[in-house]
Amino acid sequence: MKKTVIVSSPGKLIIGGEHAVVYGRRALVTSIGMRLYMQLTVDENTDKQTEKHLLNFILHDTNQRYSIDLSESSDTQPIEIEAVIYVYNQFKSSLSETGVFNIEVRSEIPIGAGLGSSAAFSVCLVGCFHLLCYGKLCLEDINELAYKVECLFHGTPSGVDNTISTFGQSLLYSRVSKKHLNFRLSNLAIIDTGIPKSTKRMVGLVRSFVENTPEEGEKILNDIETCVDAMVEHPDEINELFQRNQQLLKHLGVSIVEIDQIVEILLKNSISTKITGAGGGGCLIALTSTFTKEQILE
């Protein structure tokens, strides 16, 4: 007998609060209209002589295909497969004794661009198994387990990515609280630098900075949180706050020469721009006013 479930989850933009949120400060984050879609089909095996769970996994966007025996998993698998194995083990007791799992993934979210692709993947993966086993979705439970999957990808993430990918909308988020907001920016552009970035490496770089210069580090983290609060309370000052937030991220060491050049060029044209996500590459966000896409590229 075959069972099929399909789920999707949005990508995200951090408007303000990158890295500071890892240290308990507030971040302003919103979901975006780019989604990851995942389909899980289980073909339950009636042959009790082979008590195995097999996995066929397809990432359509990168044309990656894997077939493994889930009972003979190892740590040498690609990170996506490690994630599947981890989630599978959490739900194993609720699954039939044998069968074939077919997972297909399609995504509109660029990988490694700071737009929450791994979080959307983690949330969808947990959501698929949750829906398969329980017939319904409990967002709180999905978010909790998706965070643990995110730890496989990024080490010690803040939890903001999986939370916004689970609940959507806009959030004022910290490790201890989340508040839904009616926060929208109609004049926002996402600029992909085309430079690969590593969230884990950037988080580690900031940790070294904060540990080695604790007084300066704490002040920068507090100033970033002040920017976030002002974005929520005084949206009319968002241009200046973007510039201030970007300078603070630069002081943390997560900007690079190419990003600095983009920010400088756009600022000369009165376009405020900042990193979104971990930095070191990936995407920037810009308050474009009346500029068209073609004018920004020029």
Tell me which residues are annotated as active site: 161
Question: CB of 38 within 8 A of CB of 4?
Answer: no
- Please give the structure tokens belonging to residue 12: 């995200």
Q: How far from chain centre, in Å, is Cα 162?
A: 6
- Please give the structure tokens belonging to residue 124: 């969808």
CB count within 10 Å of CB 174 equals: 21
Question: CB of 11 within 8 A of CB of 109?
Answer: yes
Among the residues of the chain, which ranges form H helices?
A: 79-91, 117-134, 139-154, 160-167, 199-212, 214-233, 238-252, 257-267, 293-297
| Packing angle of the helix pair 117-134, 79-91 (nearest 10 deg) | 30
Nearest residue to 130 (alpha-carbon basis) of 147, 106, 146:
146
Give the DSSP H/E element, type plus range, for residue 53.
strand 53-59
- Please give the structure tokens belonging to residue 51: 């008590």
Q: What residues are paired with 27 via a beta bridge?
A: 173
Reading phi first (left if > 0) and then psi (alpha if -120 to 50, else beta), residue 169 is in: left
Residue type, 137: L
